[in-house]
C-alpha cells in the first residue's frame, strides 16, 4: 500500500496552504510535515516536496532534504513564488530542485504565485538581482487563490495516478 508524505517549508503560509490542499486531496496513508520535522524518508512510497522560491532558488533546508532522497524514490515537487507563473524565473528553482534530487524519480512539478510580505518586498526590491521578480511580485498579492488551490488539487490527483502506474 502507498504511503505518502507531504513535506513543505513555508515562511509566511503560502506554500503551507498548497501543501494542505494536496494533503486533503490524496487518499490513504498520508502525512503532512514541515521539512524541519522530518527525520527519515525511507518508509514512504511517494513524497511531495514544496517550498517558496528564495533568491531564484531552493531554500537550504529543502535542498538538504532533496539530497537525502534515496535513489529511485518517487517524488513530486511544488513551489510558490512572487514572479509570474511560467516565467523562467519561476521555473529555475523547480529545475534546480529536480537536478538536486536527480537520482529520484520526479513524477511531476507544480508552481503558483504567492503573495510576498511587504517587509520582504521592501528589502528585496532594493537589491539589483531581485529587482525583476520584485516588480512582478506586486501583482501576486491575492495568491494563492481558489484557482491556485484547485490547480494544486488537480496536480495531486495526477501524481497519485502516475504513482500507481
Q: What are the residues binding ligand FMN (CB under 6 A)? A: 10-16, 52-56, 80-83, 89-90, 114-116, 120, 124, 133
Nearer to ligand FMN, 26 or 59 (CB): 59
Residue 101 CB, shortest distance to ligand FMN, in Å, is: 19
Which residue from 46, 53, 65 is spatially nearest to 89, judged by alpha carbons? 53
Residue 33 CB, shortest distance to ligand FMN, in Å, is: 15
Dist. CA 139–CA 77, nearest whole Å = 24
Nearer to ligand FMN, 62 or 116 (CB): 116
Surface-to-core class of residue 163, CB atoms within 10 Å of its CB (0-12 exposed, 13-18 middle, 19+ buried): middle
Nearer to ligand FMN, 16 or 30 (CB): 16
Residue 42 CB, shortest distance to ligand FMN, in Å, is: 26
Residue 93 CB, shortest distance to ligand FMN, in Å, is: 7
Spell out the residues 6+ positions from residue 142 whose beta carbon is closer than 8 angstroms to its own: 115
**Phi, psi at 82, each rounded to 5°:** -80, -30
Amino acid at each position: 500500500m502507498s504511503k505518502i508524505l507531504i513535506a513543505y517549508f513555508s515562511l509566511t503560509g503560502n506554500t503551507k496552504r498548497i501543501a494542505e490542499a494536496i494533503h486533503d486531496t490524496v487518499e490513504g496513508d498520508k502525512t503532512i510535515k514541515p521539512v524541519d520535522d522530518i527525520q527519515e524518508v525511507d518508509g514512504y512510497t511517494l513524497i511531495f516536496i514544496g517550498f517558496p522560491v528564495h533568491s531564484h532558488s531552493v531554500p537550504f533546508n529543502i535542498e538538504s532534504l532533496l539530497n537525502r532522497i534515496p535513489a529511485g524514490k518517487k517524488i513530486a515537487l511544488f513551489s510558490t513564488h512572487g514572479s509570474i507563473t511560467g516565467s523562467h524565473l519561476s521555473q529555475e528553482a523547480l529545475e534546480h530542485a529536480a537536478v538536486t534530487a536527480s537520482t529520484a524519480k520526479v513524477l511531476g512539478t507544480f508552481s503558483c504565485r504567492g503573495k510576498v510580505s511587504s517587509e520582504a518586498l521592501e528589502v528585496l526590491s532594493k537589491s539589483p538581482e531581485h529587482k525583476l521578480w520584485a516588480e512582478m511580485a506586486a501583482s501576486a498579492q491575492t495568491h494563492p487563490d481558489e484557482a491556485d488551490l484547485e490547480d494544486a488539487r488537480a496536480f495531486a490527483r495526477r501524481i497519485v495516478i502516475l504513482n500507481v502506474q
